[in-house]
Structure 1
Amino acid sequence: MSDPEVVVSAPGKVILFGEHAVVYGRKAIASSLDLRTHLEVHLLPDSTSVTLELPDIHLSKTWQMADLAAARPTDVDLKNPSPPSDQYLAALHRLAGTDADNTDARSLALLAFLYMYTSIHATARRCPAGRFHASSQLPPGAGLGSSAAYCTALAAGLLTMCDVITRQEGKNGADTAWCKDDLEVINSWAFQGERLIHGNPSGIDNSVSTFGGAISFKSGEISAFKSVAQLKILLVNTKVPRSTKVLVQGVRDRYNRLPAIMEPVLNSIEEISCTCEKVLQELGSPTVEIKENTQGKYYQVLEELVDICQCLLNAIGVGHPSLDKVSSITSKHGLHSKLTGAGGGGCALVLLRPDTAADVIDKVTTELRDCGFDVWETAIGARGVSQHS
């Protein structure tokens, strides 16, 4: 088996504050999550085929280079990609062995890959035969940006292999990132991949996955933080299925019934987002010396924001007994948690201070897993898409 020619990874994302309120024009905060999707590109110079391997969803598929070349579009702007035409999309479906009614994860993952491979290959100097192996630490369908991390890693790997963006050379095995212009190109392609998967995405997930750190978003405007602290968290997947569409509609129904009550609740959620933005940027600022006692004050504010926001999200109707269970277990050990994403089950995050004792983390993790939940110790504010030596 050949060594990989290119290895890249891209992070997932969490919504820190502002869930649901963002639908009503309020600010929300999202951050990169240091659970990542990795892509290895193995060159096969004597081969005439391309293989995509996605072991997490039990998928492996091979195409002949000639068939992929026949589907290439003729009018591709590598720096400013556009959605596929109906004719081009039909050709991609034929290659994938799917049709427009296939919306399962396997079919959509194939489409995103084929779209990027054939489009980038259309005008690039080279896009050789090879094996593309993608694996992820992110659970699919949990609202953690797994599809965006996949699309971002694909874009970075293909654009690098085809010499569209500069190949990175880290020193002494260090991971490296691209310049801002190259990251913008990666982000553009990742967004188009997300459009194939989700139809009409906001662009938040792929932006966080590409650039890392944290962003605020409000009324369609995305603003990256100049600096952001990396915070340790426990990420908890309750594995309770939920429908984002149903939850959003439930909040809308409550808003329509009780606008005078819901408006101040949504305003309070936005104030939490604004306060979080200030705290994270001050904690992460390289020009501010954070003393131990000052750092404690910042974390106390964040813990209060977590507790208040969880109560407000319960008030607008997106809580769930499984999330209450997470809060009960974590608070017993002096930790603070809230839902992240749509609510109604799904995932929660638990804020950890830098000095949180290891035995406390172990106890909480064990108790949560005993409830049937998945738990990861990870960080937010992680680096964006990166190339590995």
Structure 2
Amino acid sequence: MQVKQCFVSAPGKSILHGEHAVVHGKVALAVSLNLRTYLRLLSTTSGEVTINLPNIDTFLTWDVTELQPLLSDLTVDSSVDNDLDLNLVKKLREFTGIAEGSTDTRSMAVLAFLYIYLSVFSDADVLPSLSVCVWSELPTGAGLGSSAAFSVCLSAALLSAGEQISTPLSSQQQQQNTARWTDAELELINKWAFQGEKIIHGNPSGVDNAVGTWGGVLRYHAGKITPLSRVPTLRILLSNTKVPRSTKVLVSGVKDKINKYPSIITPVLESVDAVSKTCEQTLAEMATDGTSAKHYSILEDLIDINQHHLNVMGVGHPSLDTLCRVTLAHGLHSKLTGAGGGGCGITLLRPETEPSVVRAAVQELKEAGFDCWETSLGGPGVLMHSPNSIPQNTLSILNSY
């Protein structure tokens, strides 16, 4: 293993437009969220493999000689698209004592790590000793793509360590802060990240790991994911209402409404589709011609319209009504992002929005019990970092394990 140490990061994701409608064949726009997950991989001579996940208080170590027998009868092939090796997943559950059907965050993160590690190094005579530490700015379980960012980071770091892809930020390039892989290498990273997502979520769409890999804005329609070329970075306020919800129940509720009121809800879905397409066109104009007040007015209108659509579908919530009411009182426009029924919302911030306006809105939202982050949409996907390009507090955490 040539890599002695590497740092990588991947972004979370937000749905800009198209929630729920996408399930029924309409266009959705998924966008990278500039709250990132960071990973440090360190090659060791300990004869052990260690995973440290301080966000979820998980610190585990295995001897490589204990893991080696798990590679017998392995069927994964990193050169082609493939389904999960269910035999390996079963072995890993037995090895770790994670019961069949268990889906808690800690268990799924451990399974995903071990699965990708063993698969990537399946041809090695001896499994490499290494230590991996992952720290995320993203809250878990909030619909912001935290598990996908985790899987993307794991895939990029382990594939680089296994020399299946390059190490784009070599020791001779340390004057650079960050580097990206080639398109072909990103495809491989995304493929393995999707495997991690399958372990964690069972039947994911592939959108979250694609956003984590490529960043920017992705168009999702009828199972096809298309990165949009050249998109502007948008400032937002992200708010977590901390109201728990079940995506499965909410999706089912929308389906029931369609079946009950097809002549009412079907046109709503068509209108959401038009919102997504209008937003896509507006973002393209902003990237090509530069941003203007007119563009931001359109984006604000689309946010308001789509939020009303989502309320009509039955996936709103009083907490999200509070978010929209509070931010609108400060001249800002908000909508839910993701499944709804609570969860998170995004608020668009114009370039000229005064910091005092944002502070005032955040103060009111925190008083309502929300967590808030001022961040941006549309930033880069997975990156390799030099240490000096990682936030100091995050670097300290990564280096302390």
**Within the alignment, does 1:190 sit opposite 2:193 as a pair?**
yes
CA pair 270-65 structure 1, distance change in 2 beyond 3 A: same
8 Å CA contact retained: 1:230, 1:284: no
2-structure distance, mates of 1:143, 1:298: 27
Letter in 2 for 1:70: P
Local SS of the residue matching 1:123: coil
Query: Which position in structure 2 is the counterpart of 1:375?
Result: 372
1:376 Cα deviation (Å)? 0.5
Q: Deviations over 1:259-289 (max 9, x none)?
A: 001111111111000011111122123xx3x
**Within the alignment, does 1:356 sit opposite 2:359 as a pair?**
no
8 Å CA contact retained: 1:8, 1:39: yes
Query: Which position in structure 1 is the counterpart of 2:213?
Result: 210
**Within the alignment, does 1:148 sit opposite 2:151 as a pair?**
no
* Aligned pairs, number: 380
Query: Which position in structure 1 is the counterpart of 2:5?
Result: 5
1:95 Cα deviation (Å)? 2.8
Comparing 5-14 with 98-107, greater Cα deviation is found at: 98-107
1:328 Cα deviation (Å)? 0.7
CA pair 249-25 structure 1, distance change in 2 beyond 3 A: same
Query: Which position in structure 1 is the counterpart of 2:54?
Result: 55
Query: Which position in structure 2 is the counterpart of 1:15?
Result: 15
8 Å CA contact retained: 2:178, 2:385: yes
Letter in 1 for 2:311: N
1:76 Cα deviation (Å)? 3.6
Query: Which position in structure 1 is the counterpart of 2:67?
Result: 68
Comparing 123-132 with 157-166, greater Cα deviation is found at: 123-132
Letter in 2 for 1:218: H
**Within the alignment, does 1:365 sit opposite 2:340 as a pair?**
no
Letter in 2 for 1:281: A
Local SS of the residue matching 1:172: coil
Structure 1 counterpart of 2:285, from 266, 275, 282: 282
Query: Which position in structure 2 is the counterpart of 1:107?
Result: 107
Query: Which position in structure 2 is the counterpart of 1:123?
Result: 123
Query: Which position in structure 2 is the counterpart of 1:300?
Result: 297
Query: Which position in structure 1 is the counterpart of 2:316?
Result: 319
1:80 Cα deviation (Å)? 2.7
2-structure distance, mates of 1:356, 1:125: 58
8 Å CA contact retained: 1:124, 1:164: no
Local SS of the residue matching 1:147: helix
Query: Which position in structure 2 is the counterpart of 1:220?
Result: 223
8 Å CA contact retained: 2:76, 2:84: no
Letter in 2 for 1:163: E
Query: Which position in structure 1 is the counterpart of 2:382?
Result: 385
1:253 Cα deviation (Å)? 1.3
Local SS of the residue matching 1:344: coil
1-structure distance, mates of 2:120, 2:81: 9
Comparing 72-81 with 218-227, greater Cα deviation is found at: 72-81
Structure 1 counterpart of 2:339, from 313, 323, 342: 342
Query: Which position in structure 2 is the counterpart of 1:82?
Result: 82
- Structure 2 stretches lacking a partner, 5+ long: 387-401
1:125 Cα deviation (Å)? 8.2
Q: Deviations over 1:217-265 (max 9, x none)?
A: 1111111101111100000000001111111111111111110011111
Q: Deviations over 1:14-59 (max 9, x none)?
A: 00001111111111110010111111012212x1101100111111
Query: Which position in structure 1 is the counterpart of 2:139?
Result: 139
8 Å CA contact retained: 1:43, 1:129: yes
1-structure distance, mates of 2:79, 2:241: 40
Comparing 357-366 with 66-75, greater Cα deviation is found at: 66-75
8 Å CA contact retained: 2:235, 2:349: yes
8 Å CA contact retained: 1:72, 1:121: no
Query: Which position in structure 2 is the counterpart of 1:234?
Result: 237
Taking structure 2 as the reference length, what is the TM-score of the superposition? 0.92
Letter in 1 for 2:175: N
2-structure distance, mates of 1:38, 1:76: 27
Letter in 1 for 2:117: Y
1:81 Cα deviation (Å)? 5.4
1:315 Cα deviation (Å)? 1.0
Local SS of the residue matching 2:122: helix
**Within the alignment, does 1:172 sit opposite 2:175 as a pair?**
yes
1:171 Cα deviation (Å)? 5.2
1:124 Cα deviation (Å)? 5.1
Letter in 1 for 2:381: G
**Within the alignment, does 1:331 sit opposite 2:328 as a pair?**
yes
Structure 1 counterpart of 2:276, from 270, 273, 277: 273
Comparing 220-229 with 96-105, greater Cα deviation is found at: 96-105
2-structure distance, mates of 1:339, 1:124: 46
8 Å CA contact retained: 1:4, 1:40: no
Q: Deviations over 1:115-139 (max 9, x none)?
A: 0011111125886312100011111
2-structure distance, mates of 1:63, 1:377: 39
Query: Which position in structure 1 is the counterpart of 2:202?
Result: 199
Letter in 1 for 2:111: L
2-structure distance, mates of 1:227, 1:71: 44
